[in-house]
A and B are shown apart, each in its own frame.
Chain A
Amino acid sequence: GIQVEQSPPDLILQEGANSTLRCNFSDSVNNLQWFHQNPWGQLINLFYIPSGTKQNGRLSATTVATERYSLLYISSSQTTDSGVYFCAVVHGSGNTGKLIFGQGTTLQVKP
């Protein structure tokens, strides 16, 4: 099956710093999403981005499908950005929304 690898596994930032999280996948994908799991365990949709670039406030994401990677940029980080960031992809033909998750990047933003 498809492999989804996220890096780095852990990241500690000082408030105000910028960061880039990476997601590599081993085969072509039909869908790619970024999620933030907050300290309360909620999975929050950040981006649906099978290709191209999107921005939402301090966050932006870029997926280069032909090179099989996606990047999540966090600028001017805040303590509320802490949590786990997951990349998830849909792979294969047919009408499935079967998301395969990476292992996540755990981000801690210190005040």
Chain B
Amino acid sequence: DAGVIQSPRHEVTEMGQEVTLRCKPISGHDYLFWYRQTMMRGLELLIYFNNNVPIDDSGMPEDRFSAKMPNASFSTLKIQPSEPRDSAVYFCASSLEGRRGELFFGEGSRLTVL
């Protein structure tokens, strides 16, 4: 079975540019999570969806960040405009049963903003 698929795996961009990260969750999973990993802050939850609806976006750093889930098989995380401090690895994860479900992570998208 295919796992969580993220793209791109690596992105290098210049400050001020728009960045779009993509995620395809495991088929049938009804929860989708976006996490960010940095050396300073570790792994932090940005936002999560249940049945395509955003449930908790309290971890989104600021208005420059937005996330959508137009259908059960696709989600995007957009940063506009990007800044050097956004450089991090962004992980997408999905689970089948939110409260007790087991999370499965994609391989991550490594973003570098110059």
Contact = CB atoms under 8 A, between A and B. Distances in A.
Nearest to A35: B105
Chain B interface secondary structure, helix, strand, loop or mixed? Answer: strand
Nearest to B44: A101
Interface string B96-114: 0111111111011010000
Contacts of B55: 96
B100 A99 contact: no
Nearest to A47: B102
Given A97-B31, A97-B48, A104 B42 contact: yes
B50 interface: yes
B56 interface: yes
A95 B50 contact: yes
A101 B99 CA distance: 16
* Of A31, A43, A100, most B-chain CB atoms within 10 Å: A43
Interface size bracket, B side: 20 to 34
Nearest to A103: B42
Contacts of B107: 41-42
Nearest to B104: A45
Given A42-B108, A95-B50, A97-B31, A86 B101 contact: no
Given A31-B101, A97-B33, 5 more contacts: A41-B110, A42-B105, A98-B45, A99-B33, A99-B45
Interface of A: 30-31, 33, 35, 41-43, 45, 48, 50, 86, 88, 90, 94-101, 103-104
